Structure 1
Amino acid sequence: MFGIIGQSLLLATAQAAAPAAAAPASAPATLQQQFDAASDAAQDGKCSDAITAFEALEHNPAAMKSPVVRGAIGVRKGNCLVKLHRTDEGEAAIRSGLPAMVAAGEVFVGDVVNAHMGLGTAARDRFDYARAGDEFRLALAAGGPQGRFRPLLALSQVSIFDPGPEPLAYIDEASRIADATPSISKDFHAQLLTLKARILLNRGEKAEGYALLKDALKLQGGLSLKVSLSDVATRSDLAIAAMLLNKRDDARNYLVYTGAGRMDQAPFSRAENMDVPLCGSTSGLTPADYAVVEFSIADDGSAFGVQPIYSTGGREIALAFARAASRWSWAPAKVQEIKPFLRYAMRVEMRCTVAGARPQINEPLTSRFMQWAAPLLAGRTQGGTDGAVAARASALLDQSRKEGTDQLTVALLGMLGLNPVTDTASANTYLQEGLGLALSRNMPVETSNWLRFAIAAQRNSDKPAATRAALRELLPVVTATGDALAIDTVRLQIASPGYRLSAPVDAPTLREAVIADPALPRDHPLKINALLQSASWAAQNRDFSQAQQIFQQTGLSTEQCAFIGAAPAIRRTGVSSTDYPMEAARMGFEGWTRVEFDVDSAGRTRQQRALISYPPFVFSDAASAMAKDFVYESSYRPGGDTACAGAAQNIAFRMN
């Protein structure tokens, strides 16, 4: 370990200690010893301990006099922060320390290399592979002949989607270094072959990649019940290669030996928040593009270690899918049901959606609550995954309750009640507490009404008829407050059909009340929604002239309507046990798919396609075929145009 605390500082420390009458039984550690202990902890991967120790030194003016000391602490602490996914803090610390390490000369070459590796890792974690490559090349140049292996390996990983000779040159040189190093294990050689094969697959060299992966599998001992993360990676890549070569049975056989699709051992369900990127010119994605993305799930339900494995469209296409996956979150309670090993290196097949977030009936009411809460929450809970936001909000809630900051408490309770990773029972508890506090402190009626609505909607979210009954009980309560937005939201929610739940007999009266309400502007989303439902109602009763007249009042084109109008309710699925893919059943696979499609005005589906599938390639075709039999409520559209573009349903494949 570098002894970089200056000699004069050590002498000063010793002199300061000299007047003591008697040395204690255990003398306090010198600054040099503290620095060495922190550096050793960082080197051993004990980053939490290292950060604490480095921060103690940062608060010691004597230690921070030397620019070299400050620089070394910045780089070493920063690298630990990056490893703990505190990327922004880590990058800032590394950049603050790097100039001093460069100026200090050859003795600190290792710190310079580590600084660039840390900055490259931070960029990679932000999915800025171009910047990551720049930093890894700087590390390669700084390290000299003896320090090339780590940068070469990192460059191979961030260039797997790049054209040109460089990606293969990086992995080939790294492999030659490994071949010349007797201590490198067979398993590590297999990992290098797997990485090279991944580069080849993304270049369209499928047969060559498949052959390399088979060599890697041999080095790992073949298909067996012994499973490590590197085994899973090789077998999963073999499944991709086999599928690309149309060796479908071989692909499924390799997947069997990864543990994927075993829902009894790893009940991996869809995340509470699992959005996919939008197709179009902004993202550069087309409906034909797809990717296989790998990720792990942390204890708090957030996704980490996200990386694209295979993509049909190059680097930016692959990274667009990976960015979307990095924002996914699971409820922590569900995560605990998955065996720890099986939370790592999970993979899904992804495609983009042709429809953005379709407005929900309650969206204006919820947006109004969030506008009230935003100034109270400013700078406190924003940023990160749903799980991270929920964790920060929960910690702040305890503090806010103690301090009696009632409005902040209600805002936090509302945020936790809304958060997708909060389970239904806890969400209801948060919302009930928030409503009680809002009423007792005479907070704005708009705040109380949103909480009332959220409670009614949450209480029986899986029972549409019970939810409708709860909203009917709520309607006179909000009517008494005179809050037009809350009143019309409840009216329209009651009037709307749901899965196996027809519109009620008083739906026309409820919709007309929304349309005629002078408190809302003519183009308000609730009025547009009510008009579209009324037009469809008239068409179902064969009054097409009335339907046309009502539709014209929306001011929408049929194309706009297909994307922003309310999605029609599903009437039946036509799904039966015979729809389960025989090959998947034979091998014991279970999983799920989110399938997207358009719905025409007669309620039939068109353009069926899988958006997300787990495991990759197993259920995508079956789910798309099943969606052809779905039947939705008919909707009025002039000329019989598309009623709903980009509707979606989740399909679970479970064996009894």
Structure 2
Amino acid sequence: MRTMTMLAAAAVIQIAAPAAHAGQATTVQQDFDSAARLTDAREWAPALAAWEALERRVAKSPRNLALVRVRKSTVLLGLDRRDEAAASAQAGLATMPETDATLQRDRYDGQIVLARIATSALDYASANEHFAAARKIAADPTERLASWWGVVETGTFVDPDAALAVDGEFPALFGNTEISDTLRGQIMTTRAQLYLNAGDVEKARAMSRDAVKALGGLTSKTDLVDVSARSLAGLAALRAGDRDDARRYLAMTGAGRATQGRFSAPAEMASPSCGGDTGLQPDDVAVIEFSVGDDGSVIDSSPIWSSRKGDAALAFARAARDWSWTPGEFAKLPSFFRSRVRVEMRCSTAFQRPSLQGYSSDALAAWLGSRGVTASFGDSGQARLAAQLRERLGALDANGPAAGVAAVPVLYALATNAVTPRDESHGWATRMSAILEREEAPPMARLAADQVMWATAEADRNQSRQYRAALTAALSDPLYAADPEARATIALMIADAARGDDRTVRTYARRVADDAALPANHPLKVGALIRIASLDFQQGDVAAARTAFERSGLGAEQCALLDAVPQMRRTNSNSSDFPREAMYWRMEGWTRVQYDIAADGKTQNARTVLAYPPFVFSESGAEVVSGAQFEASFRPGNTLGCGGTISGVNFQLPS
């Protein structure tokens, strides 16, 4: 997390050390000091070797071992070995004596390490919990500000009400603190982001303006801190309906105004699908931020704003991590213009996928109903619900083991709640899985718990080989292998986890599509065929895509699955389609527009799903596509000829 990196300070705590034994050249204290110096110098590889050697040496001292493990976690994080860093920090914190005041800074640092790992993995619920834990033990102004900042920034997208309460403490805690204008501008930007996501547009607008002023105002001098503040001020103005002011702030971010080269659309780019486990709806819109590395890959995307409160923006940020650019495209583009890039996003309605978690949760609810237990899982996005669920679980636990089955729906709702930290989710799911095994629940009901348990076992399941290994092992488990629905669900989970690896996706989707034990119209088989059709279409094999889609039995006609892609006859676009404000500010950009093509060749339902810079060209892009004319297609009954098509519209100024 960039704010935490900037504010972190080195801790100086001495380790209790015995004198050197015969044959040992150094004392434990000397080894500790050496490892600390290497860590402070960010010499990660030798620092790790030093901490690991020290870890072996103090293995019989619980206090010292805990301290070394926390220190080692910082080095592992520096080496980007996140799962190992999380395990080391957790092991250290678990055995670190709470009554030892000399270890308070290390307890704080361990929580910050875990918070940074969770933030990077877009697990904001866990990050928020760790920042809150660090905040409780923060000892100096730097620690208090850093942990407060983390609680607000992550809480914005998982528990905005709680984040607003914490933000309300800012004047009393930091109002008289001497901080630089740059730092004050960053803080005000983060606070403005909270209020914008919480729906208080006017307060967000006032704060974002103050942030820009603190950073020197709207001058031609711009750095990445200015970019964040000005971009948020522009977004707040836009939400307030002041489009002219919005474009003025956005123009001064430098977005769309590269002095050399152009920030083009990525070679590989997709919006998340509407529906599915994300629950995204076509009307949801978000702004996300990311940087592009020298190799063309996305670096640590993060949410900025979402039209729907809560964690919807996190789903968009996750999707952006699969994007990639051709490295050669950036040969002339300064790194400034590919750092903290912001893009407007909506979900794609093409090939909406079934929710695999929802499918198994329905099976769990049906089994619970057969046992006389009401399975109302509630709204998993509400922070207030989490508190009510914990209270309910406490009451059930007071009744002893007899309440086991009755606790399952509560455990499931807690495990899948958006504000539940990863570690807690894993604990609730593990407990639920044990109950379902003991009660001999059917495979699909047990899978509902195991799905959550596997997904929360690692710090970042999206990049975890262990997650895919767990799914592969489950597919061979006799419990699941013998059940057609369970094995199909797991196979599709593997396919989705392997997104980007077309061969693996196709292999596991094909297993489901060709499973004779499932009826032809089974939802899981339909989901597999849609995945296969998508792959075929992306690879240009229209005939295979058409065959797969027809096998699915779906009634909606998707582009190029029933016929060749209709050719565009004319665009009906002209220079007036270029937004006047963008022309004035010399801004360029691009959009990706999703639309349907009627049988008569006219476009329908055009909607921008991706746009750069945000909200500058999105309306114009949709208007350009709406005016396009394609060749007519024969359809019985003159039905829709081609749905879910996506085309790019680039807005470039004359050279």
TM-score, scaled to structure 2: 0.65
The 1:296/1:176 distance shift into structure 2, 3 A limit, reads: farther
Structure 1 position 318 matched with structure 2 position 313? yes
- Classify the secondary structure of the residue corresponding to 2:311: helix
> Structure 2 vs 1, CA of residues 168 and 630 (structure 1 numbering), >3 Å: closer, same or farther?
same
1:611 to partner: Cα distance: 0.7
In structure 2, relative to structure 1, the CA distance for the partners of 1:572 and 1:263 (3 Å cut) is farther
Residue by residue, what CA displacement relative to the aligned partner does 1:571-594 show, whole Å, maximum 9, x if unpaired?
234244342222211210101100
Q: Equivalent residue of 2:646, what SS? A: strand
Cα distance in structure 1, aligned partners of 2:28 and 2:551: 73
Deviation at 1:141, TM superposition (A): 2.1
2:606 corresponding residue in structure 1: 608
Q: Counterparts in 2 of 1:321-336, with a 5 A limit?
A: 321-336=316-331
Which residue does the alignment assign to 2:263? 268
Question: Which residue of 1 is the match for residue 383 of structure 2?
Answer: none
CA distance in 1, matches of 2:255, 2:587: 8
Cα distance in 2, alignment partners of residues 143 and 563 from structure 1:
59
Partner of 1:363: none
Is 1:638 the counterpart of 2:649? The answer is no
Distance 1:280 1:526 in 2: 22
State the alpha-carbon separation in 1 of the partners of residues 156 and 224 from structure 2: 20
Q: In 2 relative to 1, CA 102–326 (structure 1 residues): closer, same or farther, beyond 3 Å?
A: farther
Query: Residues 334 and 71 (structure 1 numbering): CA distance in 2 closer, same or farther, change over 3 Å?
Result: farther
Report the counterpart of residue 32 of structure 1 in structure 2.
29
Cα gap change, 1:50 to 1:288, in 2 (>3 Å): same
Q: For structure 1, which runs of at least 5 residues remain unmatched after alignment?
A: 18-27, 359-381, 386-418, 422-488, 497-510, 512-524, 533-552
Opposite residue 138 of structure 2, the aligned amino acid is G
Query: What secondary structure is seen at the aligned counterpart in 2 of 1:341?
Result: helix
Which residue of the partner structure matches residue 595 of structure 1? Answer: 593
Aligned partners of 1:326 and 1:252: how far apart in 2? 27
Change (3 A) 1:246 1:128: same
Confirm or deny: 8 A CA contact 2:124 2:157 kept in the other structure. Answer: no
Match of 1:167 in 2: 163
Aligned to 1:150: 146
Bigger CA drift: 92-101 or 282-291? Answer: 92-101
Contact residue 276 and residue 352 of structure 2 kept, 8 A? no
| 1:236 shift after superposition | 0.4
Larger mean Cα displacement after TM superposition, 305-314 or 635-644: 635-644
1:118-517 aligned at under 5 Å gives the runs 118-143=113-138, 147-161=143-157, 165-182=161-178, 184-265=179-260, 267-280=262-275, 282-356=277-351, 384=463
Does the 8 A contact of 1:261 with 1:591 survive in 2? Answer: yes
Counterparts of 1:624 and 1:172, CA distance in 2: 41
Q: 1:101–1:350: structure 2 CA closer, same or farther, 3 Å change rule?
A: same
Counting matched residue pairs gives 465
Given residue 568 of structure 1, which amino acid in structure 2 is its aligned partner?
V
Q: Which residue of 1 aligns with 2:568?
A: 571
Render the CA deviation track for 1:592-650: whole Å, top value 9, x for unaligned: 10011011122221100111100111110111000012233433333222222210001
Work out the CA distance in 1 between the residues paired with 2:16 and 2:323: 45
Q: Which residue number in structure 1 is paired with residue 44 of structure 2? A: 50
Is 1:16 the counterpart of 2:27? The answer is no
Map residues 495-574 of structure 1 onto 2, 5 A cutoff: 525=544, 528=547, 556-559=553-556, 561=558, 565=562, 568-574=565-571
Q: CA deviation at 1:142?
A: 2.9
Name the counterpart of 2:487: none
Distance change (3 Å), C-alpha of 1:528 and 1:32: same
Whole-Å Cα distance in 2 between the matches of residues 128 and 198 of structure 1?
18
**Following the alignment from structure 2 to structure 1, what is the Cα–Cα distance between the partners of residues 280 and 352?**
17
Q: Secondary structure at the match of 1:313?
A: coil
Secondary structure, counterpart of 1:649 in structure 2: strand
Inter-CA distance 233–602: structure 2 relative to 1 (3 Å threshold): same
State the Cα distance separating 1:72 from its structure 2 match: 2.6
Single out whichever of 591-600 and 218-227 deviates more from structure 2: 218-227
For residues 32 and 216 of structure 1, what CA distance do their matches in structure 2 show? 46
Give 2:256's aligned amino acid: G
**Does the 8 Å CA contact 1:54/1:77 hold for their aligned counterparts?**
yes
State the AA in 1 paired with 2:23: A
8 Å CA contact retained: 2:593, 2:648: yes
Deviations 1:219-257 (A, max 9, x none): 222111222222111100111011112211111111121
CA gap 1:625/1:83 in 2 versus in 1, 3 angstroms: farther
Deviation track 1:70-94 (CA, whole Å, cap 9, x = no partner) reads 3233222323433554322221221
Letter in 2 for 1:39: A
The answer (yes or no) to whether the contact 1:276–1:351 under 8 Å persists in 2 is yes
Q: Distance in 1 between matches of 2:302 and 2:564?
A: 33
Contact persistence 2:599–2:639 (CA under 8 A): yes
Q: 8 Å contact 1:581–1:622 — kept in the other structure?
A: yes
In structure 1, distance between residues paired with 2:61 and 2:48? 15
The 3-state SS of whatever aligns with 1:354 is: strand
How far apart, in 2, do the equivalents of 1:5 and 1:301 lie?
48
- Preserved contact between residue 47 and residue 75 of structure 2 (Cα < 8 Å): no
d(CA) in 1 for partners of 2:635 and 2:111?
A: 58
Q: 1:164 to 1:590 in 2, by over 3 A?
A: closer
Distance 1:3 1:336, change over 3 A: farther
Query: 1:651 aligned to 2:649?
Result: yes
In structure 2, the CA distance between the partners of 1:234 and 1:56, relative to structure 1 (3 Å rule), is same
Amino acid of the structure 1 residue aligned with 2:584: R
Alpha-carbon deviation of 1:384?
4.7
Question: Structure 1 pair 319/79, CA: closer, same or farther in 2 (3 Å)?
Answer: same
Contact 1:563–1:644 (CA under 8 A) maintained in structure 2 = yes
1:268-324 deviation digits (Å, cap 9, x = unpaired) = 222232211111253221111101111112233322232111110012211111111
Q: Residue 458 of structure 1 aligns with which residue?
A: none
Which residue matches 2:407? none
Unaligned runs of 5+ in 2: 1-11, 354-460, 465-498, 502-535
Secondary structure at the counterpart of residue 276 of structure 1: coil
> What code does the residue aligned with 1:648 have?
I
Deviates more, 1:200-209 or 1:145-154: 145-154
Letter in 1 for 2:233: L
Structure 1 distance, partners of 2:605, 2:313, is 23
CA distance in 1, matches of 2:275, 2:170: 38
Residue 99 of structure 1, CA deviation? 2.1
State the Cα distance separating 1:105 from its structure 2 match. Answer: 1.9
Deviations 1:345-382 (A, max 9, x none): 11001111101399xxxxxxxxxxxxxxxxxxxxxxx9
CA distance in 2, matches of 1:104, 1:5: 15
Contact 2:209–2:233 under 8 Å retained in 1: yes
RMSD, aligned CA: 3.3
Find the counterpart in structure 2 of residue 93 from structure 1.
88
Provide Cα deviations, 1:187-224, integer angstroms capped at 9, x if missing partner. Answer: 21122222221111112211221112222222222111
Maintained 8 Å contact 2:266/2:323:
yes
TM-score (normalizing by structure 1)? 0.64
Give the one of 76, 87, 103 matched to 2:71: 76
Instruction: State the partner residue of 2:356.
Output: none
Q: 1:582 aligns with which of 546, 571, 580?
A: 580
Q: 1:589 to 1:234 in 2, by over 3 A?
A: same
